[in-house]
Amino acid sequence: MTQLEFAALAWTGSLFAGFLGSLAGLGGGVVIVPMLVLGFHVDIHYAVGASLISVIGTSSGAQAAQAKEGFSNTRIGLFLEIATTLGAICGAFLSTSTPTKWIAIIFGVVLLYSALSSMRSKKEAAASRPPDALATRLRLAGTYPDGGKLVPYSARRVPLGFGLMFGAGTLSGLLGIGSGAVKVLAMDEAMQIPFKVSTATSNFMIGVTAAASAGVYLSRGYINPAVTMPVTIGVLLGSLLGARILVRARVESVRIIFAIVIALLGAEMIFNGLTGKLS
């Protein structure tokens, strides 16, 4: 396969990954790494590096749109980013010393979890809960638009959410994904922040998290422009297309297809890791 053929195929696959990831709310990173590793036989460290760069681009694009709509909470995002950035740096350093087969197995498990997460019904957290004392002291509250009015909310169980964010950051640095499913789980279920705010704030955070760990991959020589450029452009365009369709389309069937695809990819990553095919 020539470099031009690789770039064209990688761009097409990344476009599809970004499109589906945007509709499912999990980003394209969960598809990019297994696509490059299993489909193009790219070393998993270079695949993770390319995925991290693509996550930075898609996060920036999504944040620009969602901040304008009033859903993203920058203060909560920056506070939790302390935990995710530390976790991302730890994960990036761990990836350079962790055997490829174990990275593949962990990635497969995360893919299976992401598949289940994309199938769950998304419910808004109740806005009438009493404010948390620590969240009040840190001013981790805000409002979001709903039905033409602004609904107030406040974060709760801050230490639990902070700890989960460290884990999400570690997964991001180790596997090259935005780990949006874990971030949304921490904010939506642990901290009881409304789901729309959680997803918008997560989109803002994943780019910062990816940037922190991408520096480690860059210093180790795992950012290959020939792999990274078509992947980043494809995922960014696919995410923007998916975001436009998401506004007016019913995406339940897309979520099902996406869940099936990444579940199969997860199972194959685990199988290849256990059998030593990715060693």
pLDDT in tens, 24-35: 656 667 778 888
Q: Which residues of the chain have pLDDT under 50?
A: 125-126
Specify the pLDDT at position 238: 84
Kindly provide the b/e burial profile for residues 156-192, where b requires at least 16 CB atoms within 10 angstroms of the residue's own CB: bbbeebbebbbbbbbbbbbbbbbbbbbbbbbbbbbbb
Specify the pLDDT at position 254: 62
Specify the pLDDT at position 237: 87
> Two tokens at 82?
């302390």
> Two tokens at 48?
């993770």
Specify the pLDDT at position 34: 84
Give CA–CA dist 188/193, Å, rounded. 5
Specify the pLDDT at position 206: 77
User: DSSP letter at 156?
Assistant: -
E strand intervals along the chain? 141-146, 149-154
Give CA–CA dist 279/275, Å, rounded. 9
Query: Residue 152 in contact with residue 142, Cβ under 8 Å?
Result: yes
The residue length of the chain stands at: 279
Specify the pLDDT at position 250: 60
Give CA–CA dist 134/8, Å, rounded. 51
The verdict on residue 279 lying in a domain is no
Domain extent for 210: 3-274
The verdict on residue 182 lying in a domain is yes
Specify the pLDDT at position 121: 57
Quickly tell me which residue has 């489909």 as its tokens.
39
Query: Residue 115 in contact with residue 266, Cβ under 8 Å?
Result: yes
Count how many domains the chain has.
1
Backbone angles phi, psi at 25, to 5 degrees: 80, 20
The verdict on residue 63 lying in a domain is yes
Specify the pLDDT at position 33: 84
Using left for φ > 0, alpha for ψ between -120 and 50, and beta otherwise, residue 276 falls in left
CA dihedral 203, 205, 207, 211 (to 10 degrees): -170
The verdict on residue 200 lying in a domain is yes
Specify the pLDDT at position 67: 59
Single pTM value for the model: 0.72
